[in-house]
Structure 1
Amino acid sequence: MKDADCLYCRNPVTASKHHLRKRHLRFAIYYKDSAIGKFSIPCYCSDGGHGRSHWHCPMCAKILQRTKDFKIHITNHGVEMTDKSTVELQPTMVLSENQQTDNEDKTPGNKSACQKCGIFFTTTSNLRRHERLQHGQDQQPMLCVDAKNAIYVTPKDLHGPRVPIHIRKSFTLQILLCELEECWDFMKALAQSGNPGKECRHLVRTNHAQHYVPPPPLSISSLEEMSHKHLLSASEKHACQEMNSRACLEGVDCVYPIFWGKHDLSERCVYFSVYTDLKDKWCQFGRTRVSFDTKSGSWKCLCEHKRIPCIHKRLSMWWLFQEHPKLLQNPLDVHAERVDVLEEVVMDKMSPDGDDLC
């Protein structure tokens, strides 16, 4: 395009490499379409109106004004959002490297660059604030726990205990649901104001969700071992077997473990997404959340306020006993009616011939 006007600007501007890098390429959005690396750049042509930057959808004729809306829109076309470092576009990568070199040459020595988008900031605090506000959503893990029903788990909040919540998102099934009422109200208000495609912050994270990885299945032999060690009553053992069989018939995982420690978050609590075979306020998508505190040995489940026998904690304990028995420092909840069971477990552990739980 040497000596030609830029096709992406309203006013005549020579389409030099410097102009393209500074005005357009530095703000490019990268994605993969059918495993082919591509990118889109902001445009300033007359189609956008008022001379502001806008985005042309490469799949349809729609024009979008906001970058966030454009990302959501092209994701609905089935593309996968990526970082520019993962896109195999050699000419583009060369331009990006040249752009970075030019910026470094023109920038005073004390400025810091964002690793995600390359924007420079004069202070570290401004850089951290930018990373938290603009890229904080991408840093939160998003795991698929049920590929059949398109159910995911992600931390509810950006700070404090990363308590997971369930969401459902599937364009094939035409489902966009978050189990938090505040998110329902947020999306409902936006739909009434003429923006029905807007998603809550948890649903947006599915753009960076990890592929479904099935956990180790529950083994009957480990359940028999728990029963032999008096960690389960006969009725609890039967209930666990029955619930696991129902989940297998549905083609889903009965227990899906969530270890945030693998994502550089706190390792104290281990969470589980557990199949319930129910649809209620505490298990809207047929799954509930169970948590296990590895320091105190306490278990919690969302169904406790319903005053029903909690089989979900026993199912989670079954999986943990099978895969990570050393984490079970105090696997049982202490109840008066089960003191005899606890005494048997203690005697079994103290016996020279007894098997150690860990």
Structure 2
Amino acid sequence: MAAERAFVFEDEEELFSVMKDMDCLYCRIPVTASKHHLKKKHLRFAIYYKDAGIGKFSIPCYCSDGGHGRSHWHCPMCLKILHRTQNYKIHITNHGVEMTHKSSAELQPTAVPLESPRTRTHIQDKTPGNKLACQKCGTIFTATSNLRRHERLQHGQEQQPILCIDPKNAIYVTPKYLHGPRVPIHIRKSFTLQILLCELEECWDFMKAQAQSGNPGRECRHLVRTNHAQHYVPPPPLSVISLEEMSHKHLLSASEKHQCQEMSSRAAVQGVDCVYPVFWDEHDLSERCVFFSVYTDLEDKWCQFGRTRVSFDTKCGRWKCLCQHKRSRCVHKCLSMWWLFQERPELLQADMDGEDLC
């Protein structure tokens, strides 16, 4: 009786044992399934991935099912045949697997213990021969610079910081892009509240397309980061004393002072922080621009989750806000200035010297 073909393996020995002392099941023309043949014809082009945390791989097939002996791929989940490698990768990714370029031996969970990104920055797992191992996937490197480059390029998404700023409404902030200035955006994710939202329109389009393709739970790159988000840490609350001092120094007008007090009271009634400072310095990122997530008591295109982003350039003393009053001194800028005056007055010096709040 002919052996049944398998299209997914966890290690090479499993493949060799299945094909021992018989003709290759994956070739149209009869040929002995020696290790040399399997490595040269199939393993050489294998595609590696993780399925439920277990390292696996698939090999190309040359059977008659593909027509005229063309190389093709059999999906191990639904048995669909695909002729292009890239199409096969996309297809099995839609089944929920995670693509990787690493061998199955390196993908086993016991190979290298997982560490947090912060711990990985300070600890290097040294192997015999003074080599370095990636704490995330176990890949071996001989130079620290190569290891750091690998961590940045291969695991850059997971290294991006993400902070919980509102546990009540499940709101987080995380950098918008992988590279360049770490401009924060707001996202919401809560399985209890059944919320899965991102501020970016491109992410909405991505998740909508995934839902139409049969993957309704697929998350954008920002929402995925919540798996390693820092726990909520309440910021220092705004003090009325510091607000009075700002008014006394003529940094705020009477109407601006009243608006700040009113907005702060509304946030307190809702049980959220009126101003949440977003400092990336714990992640070795630039601190030239200080960002704030500010309560708005509104839900609009510029504040979809009831919060807006305010930025302050500590070098030139310029403020920016996403609200409709971009060129004027809005209450959101005043609230952020209140917090900065109270907690980090040294950063506000450039603004106080230049008197530029627009």
Q: Could you state the TM-score of these two structures normalised by the residue count of structure 1?
A: 0.65
Which of 37, 52, 67 in structure 1 is aligned with 2:98? 67
Q: How far apart, CA to CA, are the structure 2 residues paired with 1:334 and 1:8?
A: 65
- Give how far 1:259 is off: 1.1
Name the counterpart of 2:30.
Answer: none
8 Å Cα contact 2:290/2:312 also seen in 1 = yes
1:158-177 → structure 2 map (5 Å cutoff): 158-177=178-197
Name the counterpart of 1:23.
Answer: none
2:159 alignment partner AA: Q
8 Å Cα contact 2:317/2:356 also seen in 1 = no
Which of 291, 295, 304 in structure 2 is aligned with 1:271? 291
Identity of aligned residues (%): 72
1:90-239 → structure 2 map (5 Å cutoff): 104=128, 113-120=133-140, 127=147, 130-239=150-259
Q: How far apart, CA to CA, are the structure 1 residues paired with 2:228 and 2:262?
A: 35
8 Å Cα contact 1:288/1:301 also seen in 2 = yes
8 Å Cα contact 1:317/1:331 also seen in 2 = no
Q: How far apart, CA to CA, are the structure 1 residues paired with 2:304 and 2:99?
A: 29
Q: How far apart, CA to CA, are the structure 1 residues paired with 2:264 and 2:300?
A: 19
8 Å Cα contact 2:246/2:252 also seen in 1 = yes
Q: How far apart, CA to CA, are the structure 2 residues paired with 1:246 and 1:119?
A: 51
Residue ranges of structure 1 left out of the alignment (5+ in a row): 1-6, 14-26, 30-38, 51-63, 70-82, 88-96, 339-358
Which of 249, 257, 261 in structure 1 is aligned with 2:277? 257
* Alpha carbons of structure 1 residues 42 and 275: separation in structure 2 relative to 1, 3 Å: same
Q: Could you state the TM-score of these two structures normalised by the residue count of structure 2?
A: 0.65
Aligned length: 268
- Give how far 1:120 is off: 2.7
8 Å Cα contact 2:115/2:136 also seen in 1 = no
8 Å Cα contact 1:297/1:328 also seen in 2 = yes
2:293 alignment partner AA: S
1:257 alignment partner AA: P
Q: How far apart, CA to CA, are the structure 1 residues paired with 2:137 and 2:211?
A: 30
- Give how far 1:114 is off: 2.3
Name the counterpart of 2:64.
Answer: none
Residue ranges of structure 2 left out of the alignment (5+ in a row): 1-8, 18-48, 58-75, 80-94, 101-111, 117-124
- Give how far 1:147 is off: 0.7
RMSD between aligned residues: 3.7
Name the counterpart of 1:297.
Answer: 317
Residue by residue, what CA displacement relative to the aligned partner does 1:309-345 show, whole Å, maximum 9, x if unpaired?
6100000000000101111124368589x9xxxxxxx
1:180 alignment partner AA: L
Residue by residue, what CA displacement relative to the aligned partner does 1:238-295 show, whole Å, maximum 9, x if unpaired?
1100000000000000000011122100010110000000000000000000001111
* Alpha carbons of structure 1 residues 250 and 293: separation in structure 2 relative to 1, 3 Å: same
- Give how far 1:42 is off: 3.9
